Chains A and B, each alone.
Chain A
Amino acid sequence: MYWNKEAETIDAASLRELQTERLRKTVESLYENVPFYRKKLDSTGVKPSDIKSTADIRRLPFTTREDLRENFPDGLLAVKKEQVVRLHTSSGTTGKPKAIFFSQHDIDTASELVARCLYMTGLRKGDIFQNMMTYGLFTGALMLHYGAEKLGCLVIPAGPGNTARQISLMQDFGTTAIHITPSYALYLASVLQKQGIDPKKDLKVRKAYVGAEPYTEETRKKIETLLGLDAYNCYGLSEMNGPGVAFECEYKNGLHIWEDNFIIEILDPVTGEPVPDGSNGELVLTTLNREAMPILRYRTKDLTRVLTEQCPCGRTHRRIHSILGRADDMFIIKGVNIYPQEIERVLMSIKGVAENYQIHLESLDSITIKVEIDSNMFDGRIEHLVSLRNEITEKLKHEILVKPNVELLEPGTLPISEGKAVRVIDTRTM
C-alpha cells in the first residue's frame, strides 16, 4: 500500500515537529553558508534560532527566479563544491539559466520521493517504464528514472521524439508505463490511430505519468480514452528537485506534496499574503531536506489551491489541485486576464475538436484560436462545420469573456509536438 508507510501516513503533530526542526536546520545552513540569504535574513533581523514553529516561515524572505539568475552560477550553494555530484539547469527564454546543484544526499532524497509517488499509483517491481521525457540538463527525465529504478522497474530511457521507435519499444519490450508530456501523449495517440494500432489491445501500456506542462482534466480524460490507460498528473520543477514534487495517488483527486520535504504556502501572487485554504493563489515552496542548495519560499508562479479534505488513500500529506495556470502564461485581451488553460479546457470538452490547437495574439483586442478538427466529424456537410465553429466561439466567449476568431484547420496542419508544446503565438508589438 505504501512505499514508506511511516513517512507517508505521519500524524499532523509529528509532521509539524519534523517540519519545524528541518526548517530551522535549513535556515541555519543558509545563514552560515550563503551570503545572499545571510544578508536577507540580517536585513529582517531573523536568526535561525528564531524558528520555533512552521508559522515562522512567514518571517523568512522569498526567493524568486531572478534571485536564482542573479546568483548564477553557484552563489546559492550551501556546501563545498566537492560535495556536489550533479548540476541541472533550467533554461529561461531570456537571460541566464538557473543552475541547481545536488549532493548525493539530494539525489537519494529526490529518488526516494519519486519512488513514493510511483508506488502510490500502483507501479511495482516488474513493471516496464518507458521514459519519454528529455534527458540532459533539464531534470525532466532523470528523477523519475531513478525513482522507477528504485522500485525495481525495468527502465527504458527512450527520451522524447522519434515516435516510430517509441512504438516499437512499447511493442518489443511490453512497456507497461510511460512518462510523457500531455501534448506528446495526444500526438502519440494520433500516430497509433493512423497506424491502426489499438493501444488497448495491441499494447500493454496501462499507466502514464503526465507532466512538464500544465493541462486540464478534459485533456487527461482525452489521453486516458485515446491511449486506454490511467493518466496521473505529475508536477515538479527543477528548482525543487524536478518532477515528482507533487503527484496523484490512485484516486486521482489532486496531487500530494511530500510535506516532510517541502513546506507548501499558497499566496496572493500580487501581495504575497496567504490566501485562505481552498482559494486559488501562487504556490510557494520551501525545501526542508536539501543539502547542496536549499531554497526558502520559492515563488513558483504556478497557480493552484490546497485541497483540505483527507484523501481516501490514507496519506496525510496535503494535496494541491492540478496546476490551474502559470502566472507568466497569462495574457490580456481587451483588458481581460486569460490563461491558456481556460481555452484548452473548453476546446477539449467539445466533440469534433482534435488534439492540436494554437492561440494567436495579433493585437491587444483580438485573439484567434486555430483548431484542428477531428477527421471523424467531417461528414461533408458545411453546416456541421459552421455549427462546430459557432459552438467553439460561443463556449470560449462564455469562458474568457472575449469573442475569439475561430479558424477550423485540417487535422495535422499545426506543428506536431514531441516535447513541450508551443500553444501561444504572440506577435503583438508593444
Chain B
Amino acid sequence: MKVKQISVFLENRKGRLQEALETIAAAKLSIRALSIADTADFGILRLILPDPDKAKKALQKNNFTVRENDVIVVEVPDKPGGLAGVLKVLNDANINVEYLYAFVEKSGKKALVVLRTEKIEPAVKALRKADIEVMPSEKVYSL
C-alpha cells in the first residue's frame, strides 16, 4: 500500500527547480503529483511518478540530493468535507499527518490525495477500517 515518493533538496538558486524538472523530463517520466515545501532559503520538491527508482537515479546522477520516502495515496470523495472526513479518521486514531498534497487527476469521481504520516502501517489500517480507499502503489504508478 505504500507509495514511493521522491524528495529533492533544492537550494535557493535561480533555475534549480527547472533543472530538476528537466532531469525528470529527460528520463521520460511524467509527474503524477507534486508539491514544494519551502522556506526563504531552500525547498524540498516532492514527486509521485510512475518509476520512482528511475527518477531517483536520474536525479542523483545530475548531482541532486534525493531521498525516497513512503507515503499513502487515498481516494477522497470529491465533495465538501471529503478530505476533512479522511483526516478525522487519522486524528481519531491518534496519527499525525506531516503533510499532504493533491493529485491533479482524479480517479473516477474521486480526488486523490498524498498523505505523509509518521507511521504508515497504522494509518493504512485506520483508513481501511473507515472504508476509505487506499490506492495500491501499482495503480498509482500506472495512472
A residues whose Cβ falls under 8 Å from a Cβ of B: 373, 375, 378-382, 385-386, 389, 407-413
Q: Is the CB of A410 within 8 A of B65?
A: yes
Which one, B10, B46, B67, contacts A379 given CB within 8 A? Answer: B67
- Measured CB to CB, the nearest residue on chain B to A381 is B98
Chain B: interface secondary structure?
strand
What is the number of contacts between chain A and chain B, taking CB atoms within 8 Å? 49
Name the A residues within 8 Å of B9 (CB-CB): 373, 378, 385, 410
**5 interchain residue pairs of minimum CB distance:** A380-B7, A380-B67, A382-B37, A380-B69, A409-B11
Q: Is the CB of A410 within 8 A of B63?
A: yes
Q: Is the CB of A412 within 8 A of B63?
A: yes
B residues whose Cβ falls under 8 Å from a Cβ of A: 5, 7, 9-13, 37-39, 41-44, 46, 63-69, 98
How close is A430's CB to chain B, nearest CB, in angstroms? 28
Name the B residues within 8 Å of A408 (CB-CB): 11, 41-42
Q: Is the CB of B39 within 8 A of A382?
A: yes
Q: Is the CB of A407 within 8 A of B63?
A: no
Bound CA span A381–B11, Å: 14
Q: Is the CB of B41 within 8 A of A407?
A: yes
Which one, A380, A386, A407, A412, contacts B12 given CB within 8 A? Answer: A407
Given A373-B65, A410-B9, are A385 and B42 neighbors across the interface (CB < 8 Å)? Answer: yes
How close is A193's CB to chain B, nearest CB, in angstroms? 13
Q: Is the CB of A410 within 8 A of B7?
A: no
Given A385-B9, A409-B11, A410-B11, are A378 and B41 neighbors across the interface (CB < 8 Å)? Answer: no
How close is A106's CB to chain B, nearest CB, in angstroms? 47
How close is A404's CB to chain B, nearest CB, in angstroms? 13
Given A373-B9, A373-B65, A382-B43, output 11 extra A-B contacts at Cβ < 8 Å.
A378-B9, A380-B44, A380-B69, A382-B39, A385-B44, A407-B41, A408-B41, A410-B64, A410-B65, A411-B63, A413-B13
How close is A13's CB to chain B, nearest CB, in angstroms? 61
Name the B residues within 8 Å of A375 (CB-CB): 65
Name the B residues within 8 Å of A379 (CB-CB): 67, 69
How close is B36's CB to chain A, nearest CB, in angstroms? 10
- Measured CB to CB, the nearest residue on chain A to B5 is A380
Bound CA span A381–B13, Å: 20
Which one, A382, A389, A411, contacts B65 given CB within 8 A? Answer: A411
Bound CA span A412–B69, Å: 23
Name the B residues within 8 Å of A386 (CB-CB): 39
Bound CA span A381–B37, Å: 9
Chosen A-B contacts, 14 in total, with CB atoms closer than 8 Å, are A378-B9, A380-B44, A380-B46, A380-B69, A381-B44, A381-B98, A382-B38, A385-B42, A408-B42, A410-B10, A411-B63, A411-B65, A413-B11, A413-B13
Bound CA span A69–B41, Å: 45
**Among the interface residues A375, A382, A385, which one has the most CB atoms of the partner chain B within 10 A?**
A382
Q: Is the CB of A378 within 8 A of B65?
A: yes
How close is A105's CB to chain B, nearest CB, in angstroms? 52
How close is A415's CB to chain B, nearest CB, in angstroms? 14
Q: Is the CB of B41 within 8 A of A382?
A: no
Bound CA span A74–B124, Å: 81
